[in-house]
Chains A and B, each alone.
Chain A
Amino acid sequence: MAVLISLSLSDMLVTALVLGRMISPEYFSFLVPGIVTVGLFTAATDTGRRIWLALREGVVQYYMTLPIKTSGLVVAYIISGGLGGLVYSSALLIIASFAVHPQNILNAILLVPFMFVLATGIAGLAAFLASISRRGEIYWVYAQALQVSLITISTVFYSAQTVQQYLPSPIATIANYNPLSLTATALRDSVFGGQLLSASILSDMLSTSLPLAAIGALAYWVILRSLRLKGKP
């Protein structure tokens, strides 16, 4: 966690600061909530790495000898990913509040459960990729592709208006409904911007994150079930 925090801190105190000097002083305040969101994403995807390692090194077989149902094991992994993302992004949010003054702390508290759901969704997506990675290092190919594409096609680094102005509309739509964009926008508008929490953003966060969590849980459950029945994934 210390390494993850230091990575996000260097993003905040170096990258955001220098880009702020290149673009405009307001850009720093714009980017900081985006960096908090990227931090949540990074911590939640660690679930995928842990599942991949557990499948590769045979730890899963040990887990399956424990007095716990397969579904319980799946739910535990997804929830731990969600909690990991939440704890990490909350720590980052507290640090970020020293750099950019939050306008509404109550909104930050109200956003916590939605950020938890988002983190479980991302953990589910990472679990799905780990579960379908049958050979060697292929999980890292998927993980890198997921990270770069989700962060690049989002409004973490640039506003929705900029994306709409310069990129084709299908890409702008994907960027707008990307769960990372939704969270970054919610943090920018309601926590650091002082606006009211938007019900449509919250419902979009839920509707994009919950299916991801469900797909990930299902994929991992199928793998565990195959392991139980056939002895191999």
Chain B
Amino acid sequence: MERAAEIELARQLLDGKPEAFDKFVDHFRAKIFNYSQLLCGHREDAEEVVQETLLNVFEKFSQLREPEHVRAWVFRIAKNVCLIKRRKSIFAPQQEVSLDELMPARGTSGDPMKIEIADWSGLPEDEVLRSELQRALDDAIAEMPEIYRSVMLLRDVEELSTEETAHVLGVNTDAVKTRLHRARLLARKKLDTYLRASRPGLEKN
């Protein structure tokens, strides 16, 4: 569902038009389920997070001042429900990964114009490879430190803005940018390793 359609549903619900109710519920059940499962990794928990989040959403719906930010608003509630579900905090401070670790290695030739990188060309057209890569992306998301995962899910999967993500997570926008960059680099590295293993003849270097 497009963002505009989602905002329209929120407006209708605020106006007391119940015909938007089931569409809104179906749409956000799938979204929150996916978010919770990727963030916490448990199916049973995800089902509970979905229901508790939506219950909170409808109880507080009149507090939604800006329907255009409904997605961020719902995810802020979902994040809080996830936090309560987990025994240990999923947002406990963790050490930042150093950028140097994520830079590609120089090629064996020592030539500064060569780096070790897979051939990423042709990827957009190759559907089989794309679906394999999505599995590698699942692994990358599951393995990365939670401070990075939480940002990547909101910024890149849910496509919230930097400001909305900062609001959901209760951190400043600089922290969102720093963490997002590391999250993307970690995911990229995993995908690159996967590509090099699956298309060994196509390495650039």
Partners in one complex: no
